[in-house]
Amino acid sequence: MQDDLRGFPSYGFSVVVKFGGSLMRDPIICKAALAEIERLTDQGHRILIVPGGGIPDKAIEAIDASHPLESFTAHHACALAQDQTGYLLADRAFSSKLVASSALGECRALAKDGKVPVLLPSRVLFTIDPVEWSWDITSDAVAAWIAWITSTPCLAILTDVDGVYREAATNDPAALIEQIDAHDLAKLGHTSIDACAANFMAKRGVPGVVINGAHPQRLAAWLERKRVTATTITVGNSNKVPIQIVASGAA
């Protein structure tokens, strides 16, 4: 998806990683996942992190459940929640190479310099206003959109489960979906990835994978074309999916 267009320099990201806010519930797991991302950066991967809403987002959802918020309030507060999570991930308490930035151009420069940019998405979202002000749109969809506008080859969603499960049976390993087309995934509704994100990936040709961030070595294995426990998301007959993900007998 990286195009060489005269006058339009490539962002050069090899993968957009949506770092699920759920991973911040356990600081040890969070730090281990970030350490693995930093190690991959040292190996030459250019990774752009898009943070989830995390703990601040859950607080907003709780308020909305008892006192329904206007769409303007919920949308803007949730975007800022992603920023807050991004700042925390980039703090030296959690990482050493992560740098928070609200500008994609600066993110490109940071990645070129061997850093791991963490996009604080609120400024981009407020300026361009690309998504609906709805609870149907989550940070998954935002990350998919970021991957598309930066022409990044794939999207890796790090979350707290091994992938997408049939009937949402996350406790049944046999229910793990090893591979699914993005169109079919969207039909399942909200799973471990939101339906709007899956539909966007299908329509815009963005392949991806859902990986358990508690096992960060799986991201490295995926990038190395090894077998891992995860769910790969394909986009029709496209050859853009760089790695085949197989769950059985995997890491």
Structural domains for the chain: 15-234 (3.40.1160.10)
Neighbours of 194 (CB within 10 A): 22
Among residues 182, 90, 100, 88, the alpha carbon closest in space to that of 144 is found at 182
φ, ψ at 181 (rounded to 5°): -70, 145
- And the tokens for 233? 């998301």
* Distance (Å, whole) CA 53 – CA 89: 12
Helix pair angle (54-66, 71-90), 10° resolution: 160
Between 102 and 221, name the one with better pLDDT: 102
Q: Given pLDDT bands bounded at 50, 70 and 90, which one contains residue 235?
A: very high
Find tokens 């085949």 and name the residue: 244
- Decide: pTM greater than 0.85: yes
* Distance (Å, whole) CA 205 – CA 138: 19
pLDDT of residue 171: 87
* Distance (Å, whole) CA 25 – CA 22: 6
pLDDT of residue 227: 82
* Distance (Å, whole) CA 113 – CA 174: 42
Q: What is the mean pLDDT of the chain?
A: 91
Average pLDDT over residues 226-232: 91
Q: What angle do CA 136, 140, 143 make, to 5 degrees?
A: 125
Q: Given pLDDT bands bounded at 50, 70 and 90, which one contains residue 236?
A: confident
Sheet of strand 231-234, all strands in order from the earlier edge strand to the far edge: 98-101, 116-119, 47-51, 15-19, 155-159, 208-212, 231-234, 179-181
pLDDT of residue 250: 46
Provide the CB-side half-sphere exposure for 221 (13 A, CA).
Answer: 18
Q: Where are the alpha helices (DSSP H) in 129-194?
A: 139-149, 182-187
71 touches 134 (CB < 8 A): yes
pLDDT of residue 244: 37
Helix pair angle (195-204, 139-149), 10° resolution: 20
- 135-191: pLDDT as tens digits: 999 999 999 999 999 999 999 999 999 999 998 888 899 999 999 999 999 999 889
Q: Given pLDDT bands bounded at 50, 70 and 90, which one contains residue 237?
A: low
Q: Given pLDDT bands bounded at 50, 70 and 90, which one contains residue 87?
A: very high
pLDDT of residue 2: 54
- 111-122: pLDDT as tens digits: 999 999 999 999
φ, ψ at 85 (rounded to 5°): -65, -40
Instruction: Decide if pLDDT at 226 tops 90.
Output: no
pLDDT of residue 224: 85
pLDDT of residue 11: 95
State the DSSP code for 76.
H
Average pLDDT over residues 209-226: 92
Among residues 226, 231, 232, 215, the alpha carbon closest in space to that of 250 is found at 226
